[in-house]
């Protein structure tokens, strides 16, 4: 195995440099270098909140040639310590997993969650049913609940990561790495800053009709266990589409719906499916 130290340049969006092989920016490339898996088209998702103009990384999308859409969440969003259903009688299932990525299968609208083990191996930890159709050809994928944008990592000007690659395939994998870096896109999402009495919710949808309005339902929490107390949810909200991430063959797009709403979170970050 050949040890490699590789860098990703984001100087336009951040300053300084650091080594973080677990970053949401680095993990798709590590998967390429270590496993030989082509990440496809890469898009980094960056949050900017007023009044601060500091950029935070939310995660990275990879659109693969195998008709799969992958989302690699930022480090503070990755830990799963329980799985629960919203029904009052449903007991929570205790788990201790580190999420590597969340997959949406374009062909059948199903999804699953992949974890990374202590030995670096990856496996599916949660198989999800076919995603719910909440509008015409509009599928609710997942949601992220954040206490504040401040819990996320800031964007650095240059990010370094370490990986090992088989000597027999190092040239091919490095060529794919440099190609993917050059073609990577950045999606900047402006969000309002959550206060002590509010939280930030970002819902993700796959829209095969391209551009319809997004409903406010789906993953916005309305009480425990995500929140400390129950809240009221309005019937409609204005959607904010994600720009620059068309699906293969132009069949659709990802839409993200950021919401700042009144409520007190029980955790820094929660993934909702």
User: Which tens digit of pLDDT belongs to each residue from 103-145?
Assistant: 999 989 999 999 888 777 888 888 988 998 888 888 999 999 8
Strand segments, DSSP code E, in 1-137 are 2-9, 17-19, 41-50, 55-63, 68-73, 79-83, 93-105, 111-116, 122-128, 133-135
pLDDT at 244: 47
Inform me whether the pLDDT recorded for 164 exceeds 90.
Answer: yes
What SS3 class is residue 64? coil
Mean pLDDT within 177-187: 92
Inform me whether the pLDDT recorded for 189 exceeds 70.
Answer: yes
Residue found by looking up tokens 């092989």 in the block: 21
Inform me whether the pLDDT recorded for 80 exceeds 60.
Answer: yes
| Total count of domains within the chain | 1
- How many degrees, rounded to 5, is the angle at CA 49 between CA 45 and CA 52? 125
Mean pLDDT within 69-98: 69
Q: What is the pTM of this model?
A: 0.89
Mean pLDDT across the chain: 83
Model confidence band, residue 235 (pLDDT cutoffs 50, 70, 90): low
User: Which tens digit of pLDDT belongs to each residue from 146-159?
Assistant: 888 888 888 888 99
Model confidence band, residue 241 (pLDDT cutoffs 50, 70, 90): very low
Mean pLDDT within 68-91: 72
User: Residue 13 region, left (φ>0) first, then alpha (ψ -120 to 50), else beta?
Assistant: alpha
pLDDT at 29: 95
User: Which tens digit of pLDDT belongs to each residue from 31-76?
Assistant: 999 999 889 999 999 988 765 667 889 999 999 888 899 999 998 8
Model confidence band, residue 84 (pLDDT cutoffs 50, 70, 90): low
User: Which tens digit of pLDDT belongs to each residue from 1-42?
Assistant: 899 999 999 888 888 888 999 999 999 999 999 999 889 999
User: Residue 211 region, left (φ>0) first, then alpha (ψ -120 to 50), else beta?
Assistant: left
pLDDT at 191: 82
pLDDT at 59: 95
Q: Mean pLDDT lowest for which of 23-27, 62-66, 222-226, 262-266? A: 222-226
Instruction: Give the range of the structural domain holding residue 151, as residue numbers without chain letter.
Output: 2-272
């Amino acid at each position: 195995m050949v040890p490699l130290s590789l860098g990703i340049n984001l100087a336009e969006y951040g300053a300084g440099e650091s080594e973080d092989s677990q970053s949401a920016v680095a993990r798709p490339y590590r998967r390429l270098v270590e496993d030989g898996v082509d990440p496809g088209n890469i898009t980094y998702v960056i949050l900017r909140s007023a009044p601060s103009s500091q950029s935070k990384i939310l995660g990275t999308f990879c659109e693969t040639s195998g008709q799969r859409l992958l989302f690699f969440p930022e480090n503070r969003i990755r830990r799963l310590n329980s799985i629960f259903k919203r029904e009052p009688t449903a007991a929570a299932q205790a788990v201790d997993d580190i999420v590597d990525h969340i997959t949406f299968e374009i062909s059948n609208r199903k999804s699953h969650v992949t974890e990374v083990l202590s030995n670096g191996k990856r496996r599916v930890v949660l198989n999800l049913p076919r995603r719910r159709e909440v509008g015409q050809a509009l599928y609710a994928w997942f949601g992220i609940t954040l206490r504040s944008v401040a819990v996320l990592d800031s964007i650095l000007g240059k990010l370094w990561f370490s990986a090992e690659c088989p000597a027999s395939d190092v040239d091919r994998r490095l060529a794919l790495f440099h190609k993917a870096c050059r073609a990577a896109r950045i999606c900047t999402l402006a969000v309002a800053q959550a206060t002590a009495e509010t939280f930030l919710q970002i819902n993700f949808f796959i829209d095969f009709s391209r551009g319809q309005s997004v409903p406010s339902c789906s993953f916005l929490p309305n009480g425990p266990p995500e929140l400390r107390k129950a809240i009221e949810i309005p019937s409609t909200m204005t959607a904010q589409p994600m720009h620059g991430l068309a699906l293969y063959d132009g069949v659709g797009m990802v839409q993200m719906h950021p919401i700042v709403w009144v409520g007190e979170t029980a955790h820094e970050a929660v993934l909702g499916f």
